[in-house]
Amino acid sequence: MQRFAPSRIAITAALLLASPLAAQNAPVDAATATANAALEAAPVFDGHNDVPNQLRARVANQINGFDFEDTSHTGDAHPQGAVMQTDLVRLKQGKVGAQFWSVYVPSNTDEAEAVQQVIEQIDVTRRLIARYPEGLRYAETADQVERAMADGKVASLLGMEGGHSIGSSLGVLRQLYALGARYMTLTHNSNIPWADAATDKPLHGGLSDFGKDVVREMNRIGMLVDLSHVSEDTMMDALDVAKAPVIFSHSGARAVNGHPRNVPDSVLARLPENGGIVMVVALPRFITEDLRQWGARRAGEEARLGALLLGQPDMVKAGMAKWDAANPEPKSTIADMADHIDHIRKVAGVESIGIGGDFDGMPSGPVGFEDVRGYPLLFAELAKRGYSQAELEMIASRNALRVMRAAEAYAASVAGEPAIETLITPPAKAE
């Protein structure tokens, strides 16, 4: 099996040759200067942002009058008044140079409806990109990403979230690639007919035979295989089959936070051989273990009160208010996110790390990283922990670009092979 692990000698040489450069015209400490220099040389290539879903939820994809320069006005279109976390001004402040926009649609057992919806999300995202040529530039390849970055644009790529979006059809997969999708997360929160999700009861024991052919066909056409959201067995099956690097577009390390959405060490240990990356997420309950434990305790108390006070919702509400007052919610911090990066570097190496914030797919990021402006603070925290400028550049975007190029190279090497034509085997019906 062809592998794409980077050369350790080359990485070591790059680290030795690199030296931190002070940011110009700013009285900053050494760590901030190192972070600024790294992000100037290699702007952030973020793996997952849910702006397209916000467009669907807030304005029904009617964007001709939508202002993406400044989304501070968007609270009016949200039931709780929440403002979007992304716009062109804040992307620039956050030193974001490339973004995978998630053309996500909710988990749906009606796969034909899911296919229609993902095409609609591709349409609205490409229209948004086209409306802002001064700030955004559509991209499909690593070279196009680098050119857009060099020109000061946010290279804008499309990533599908959830294999239900292909309707269990390799033909649909290929046509969505033709429409611009450059990665697919194999599942979202629920199992699909050919793959198990991390947050659902196991059904297939990982990937079905058809699911393995989905991975093979994604490799053949050059679409990145995204293993965020999938079960550990699905991760392992995909790594067994994959001939190009995989990504985790927005996940953390399970050893730091035990949420099943995070990547276990058993999988991290295999990433160097595969050449893949974990794009570390900012979602608080995935990165902060104290917060996850607090949430479990709170859910337990709510269940207890509900059982004791049947038919008395006002009493349950009052009891929970008292519990909340006595048990304040822990805060999630940038340091928590950095802890995941530290752990992945320890187990899999710095070349296995990227960034995938999940902005506009969560209520807020950690304190200091509530929206897309926060990336420089994260990189300054890493610099304080001893990361060199060369390492920060790798985490910011060089690792992601390497993975894209490896997937493109593998696809080019098998360009003469015919399309896989496997049909899904329907699950057996219960008697």
Positions marked catalytic = 48, 50, 161, 188, 229, 250, 358
Residue for token pair 């919610």: 329
What is the bridge-based pairing of β-strands 181-185 and 154-161?
parallel
Distance CA 416, CA 402 (A): 23
Distance CA 404, CA 1 (A): 18
Cβ–Cβ < 8 Å for 352, 70 = no
Alpha helices in 106-199 (DSSP H): 111-131, 142-150, 170-178
**Single-letter residue type at 257:** N
Each residue of 90-102: b (16+ CB within 10 Å) or e? bbbebbbbbbbbb
